[in-house]
Structure 1
Amino acid sequence: MAGGGCSRGLCDQISDAILDACLMADPGSRVAVEVAIKGNLLCILGELTTHARIDADAIARQVLRDIGHADGRWGLDADRIRIILELSTQSPEIGARVDAEDIGAGDQGLMFGYACRETPTLMPLPITLSHALMARHWEYRQTPEGQLLGPDAKAQVTVR
C-alpha cells in the first residue's frame, strides 16, 4: 500500500493504493485510475475491471491520513475533502483485444527512469538520491523537531 517514506506524489500514492487493493482481492484486475487534486477537491477517474469490492473513497482518505493530512493542519483534511468518483468498467473493445492477444495491458503508462548499473537499486543515481532524500524527510517528520515540516515535499537531484 502507499504511504510513509515514499517519494511518489500524493495522487500517485492514491491511485497505487487503489490498484493494490484491487490486486489483493483479484489478481486478474485491470485498473486504469488517475487521481487529480485541487484545493479541497479530489477526483478519482478511470476504469476498473475487477471482482474486488473496494471503497476508493475510503482508500483515498486513508492515504491522505497516512502521509500526514489527517487534521487540516497542512491544508488538507482527509475527513473533509470532497471526493468525486468517476469509475467505470474497461471498455469491451480494449478488454477483448487484451484477452485475444494475451498481452496483459490495454495501454501504456508513464515511466520514469531506466534500469542501469549506476546504483544497487539499478536506477539512475539522481533518482536513487532523490528517493533517499525523501525517505529521510519522512523519518525526520516523525521526530519532535520534524513536526514543523509538512507532508508535501519534493527533492530534485542533478548529477554532473
Structure 2
Amino acid sequence: MTKSFLFTSESVTEGHPDRVCDIISDAVVDRFLQQDPYTRVLTECALSKNVVFLAARFASKAVVDIPEVARNAIAEIGYHPQEFNASDCTVVTSFVAQSLDNRAEQDEAGLSDRELDRIVVRNQVTQFGYACTQTPELLPFPIVIANRLAHQLTAARRERKVAYLSPDCTTQVGVEFDCGRPTRIHSITLIAGTHGVPDLGAAELRRDLMQWVIAPVFGHEEIQPDERSEIFVNPRGMLHKSGPAAHSGMTGRKTASDSYGGFARQSGSALSGKDPMRIDRVGAYAARYAAKNVVAAGLAEQCEVQLSYSIGQARPVSLVISTFGTGSVSEEVIKARLEEHFDFRLGAIIRDFDLRRLSTRNKGGFYRKLPSHGHFGSSFTELPWERVDRASALR
C-alpha cells in the first residue's frame, strides 16, 4: 500500500442537472411501484434549458402520468423560474409499453428455493461493493465529507440561512492519507450557484459558506481543516446562472458520487431509473451489504465484494473477495462465510431487502430520495442494505 497519497472525491446537490435527471428517473420508478409492485420499468432522462426528455420502457398495470411526475420532481427541487420553470418547460417523451405476459407476480417471500432459481437476470453486469473503517458509515472519508457538504449546501438554502443559493452546487474534498488512513484535509472546493443577488461579492459568499456550510459539517469531525488547508469558493468567479440554464444533465452521470467517490471500484452502470428486477442496480446494493458486514464483523479493515452476473442465470457466476492485505482471516475464508450466510440470487435480493414495497412504505417515495440523500451510508432512512445484521454470523 502506498504510504502517503492525496485523494479527492466530489459530490453535487439536488439541483445539479445530472442529479435532477436521477431524481426524475427514480420518481417515475416510485410512482409505478406504488400502484403495481411487480412493475418492470426502465427510465432515462436528459434535460437542458427549459427542455426535459424522458424515455421509458415499462410493463405495468399502473397508469402513470410520467410528464407530470417529472414536473413535480423539478418543482420540489426549488429552482427559481428563471433557472428552470417546472410548469412551462417542454417535456418530450418516448414511451414503450411492453407485454405483461412475462412478469412474475408472486411475492418472493413466499417462493421456494427452486422457484427462486427460476428468477433469472435479464442483463449482465459485474458489480462491486466496498466498505472500510475510515468512517462510522464504513465508507471512504473523502466521499462522506463531499456528500455532507452537498447536503449542507441544500440545507442552508432550504432553511434560508443562505437563501440566495441556487439548487445547483458542487463540492470537492482533497484528503491526505498516511498508511492508508485519512490524516488531514488538504483542500475543499465549493462551486455555488447564486440567484437574485447580482451585487454579491466573493468575500461575502465565502463568509456565508464558511459559517453555514463548512463549519457545521466539520463541527464534530476528528479531522478538521487546518491553517494549511486550501479552501476554494467559486475559484473561477461568481455563477449568477446555474442549473439547466447553464449546463445539461443526464441520468447516470454521477455514479462515482452515488457510490464510493472513486476510491473503490464500481461498475459504471446507472443506479437510478431501474426497477428491482434490474441486477445492475440491486446487485450494487447486495455487494455493498456483504462488504459492510465483513468489515463490521472485524474480518478486514477494507473489503471489496465483486459479483458477476450473466443473462439467464439466477445467481452470480463469480464471487471475488479482496481485503487489500487488511484481513484478519484469509479471503477464501471470507468468501466461504459469505456463501454460507448470504444469498446473492436476484429473487433473494428482492426478498431480503423487500425492494418491491419500499416505495409505498416510505412517505413521499423511496427510490427518488436516494440520488440526493445517498444510495449508501447515512441517508433519509435506514437503508436495508446498510444494515450490519449478519456481522455476528460472519464473525
TM-score tier by shorter-chain length is 0.7 to 0.9
Instruction: For 1:85, give the aligned amino acid.
Output: T
Whose radius of gyration is greater, 1 or 2? 2
Q: Partners of 2:160 and 2:147 in 1: how far apart?
A: 22
- 1:86 matched residue in structure 2: 94
Taking the TM superposition and a 5 Å limit, the aligned residue runs for 1:1-160 are 9-69=19-79, 71-73=80-82, 75-90=83-98, 101-103=118-120, 105-107=121-123, 114-117=129-132, 118-160=134-176
Contact 2:14 2:77 in 1 (8 A): no
Instruction: For 2:89, give the aligned amino acid.
Output: I
Q: Partners of 1:159 and 1:108 in 2: how far apart?
A: 35
Larger CA deviation: 76-85 vs 147-156: 147-156
Equivalenced residues, count: 147
Shift of 1:120: 3.1
For the residue of structure 2 that corresponds to 1:115, the secondary structure is strand
Unaligned ranges ≥5, structure 2: 1-12, 104-116, 177-395
Shift of 1:136: 0.3
Identity of aligned residues (%): 27
CA displacement, residues 50-99 of structure 1 (integer Å, 9 cap, x when unaligned): 11111111111111111112x513x210011000111113489xx58xxx
Contact 1:30 1:48 in 2 (8 A): yes
For the residue of structure 1 that corresponds to 2:43, the secondary structure is strand
Distance 1:52 1:123, change over 3 A: farther
CA displacement, residues 17-44 of structure 1 (integer Å, 9 cap, x when unaligned): 1011111211111111100001111000
Shift of 1:108: 5.9
Distance 1:10 1:147, change over 3 A: same
Unaligned ranges ≥5, structure 1: none
Q: Partners of 1:149 and 1:108 in 2: how far apart?
A: 41
Q: Partners of 1:62 and 1:108 in 2: how far apart?
A: 33
Q: Partners of 2:72 and 2:164 in 1: how far apart?
A: 22
Contact 1:43 1:83 in 2 (8 A): yes
Contact 1:35 1:43 in 2 (8 A): yes
Instruction: For 1:142, give the aligned amino acid.
Output: R
Instruction: For 2:20, give the aligned amino acid.
Output: L
Query: Which segments of structure 1 move beyond 4 Å, counting only runs of 4 or more?
Result: 5-8
Instruction: For 1:115, give the aligned amino acid.
Output: Y
For the residue of structure 1 that corresponds to 2:22, the secondary structure is helix
Instruction: For 1:68, give the aligned amino acid.
Output: G
Instruction: For 2:95, give the aligned amino acid.
Output: L
TM-score between the two structures when normalised by the length of structure 1: 0.77
CA RMSD of aligned residues (A): 2.9
Shift of 1:130: 2.0
Relative contact order, higher structure (CA 8 A, sep 6+):
2
Q: Partners of 2:155 and 2:98 in 1: how far apart?
A: 39
TM-score between the two structures when normalised by the length of structure 2: 0.34
Shift of 1:147: 1.6
Distance 1:158 1:46, change over 3 A: farther
